[in-house]
Amino acid sequence: MTPVLAVRSAVVGDAHQMARVHVDSWRQTYRGLMSDSVLDDPELLHTRKRFWTGALTDERYSSNRVAVAERNGAVIGIAMSGPSQDPDATWTSQLFVLYVDAAHHGSGAGPALLNAVLHLHEAAAVWVADPNPRAQAFYRKHGFTPDGHSKAGPYVQELRLLRGPGTA
């Protein structure tokens, strides 16, 4: 029998497992798109753990929604949304993070995490690596469409996708 998928709000005690999923997902997804020096940095796990600890404890992020997906007590996916940071935003929320360990792709964890941090009809944006056909197809399936904006992100080229009222 397949272990039950559980999605819940993240707590600071999850930071290490969240960092592991984050780093593993970057390495699984972005090899060839992101610099090997970033992906292979021996401090990357520690840096991501500090990031998640801050995201879960710092008052500046108190309006963000952060969730984890787990099976058998192990975190297999992470997601975070918050107020939009785009200066041209006509939408209220932005999806900042959604990663599921590759071994759990297709398990339902991605949609469950998306729904945990963004309400179904909430106007929102997400910046997604380009190219990243798997992620772009996932977001299109969940109502996001490209709005024609792209940018050089801190690590990869990114494409903006929008969903919901006020995003047309």
Domains and CATH numbers, the chain: 6-163 (3.40.630.30)
pLDDT tens digits, 117-144: 999 889 999 999 999 999 999 999 999 9
Written as tens digits, the pLDDT of the chain (168 aa) is: 667 999 999 999 999 999 999 999 999 999 999 999 999 999 999 999 999 999 999 999 999 999 999 999 999 999 999 999 999 999 999 999 999 999 999 999 999 999 999 998 899 999 999 999 999 999 999 999 999 999 998 889 999 999 987 665
- Cα 73 to Cα 9, 22, 52, 84, 142: the distances in Å are 14, 17, 18, 31, 27
- Cα 63 to Cα 4, 135, 159, 167: the distances in Å are 29, 25, 24, 21
pTM: 0.95
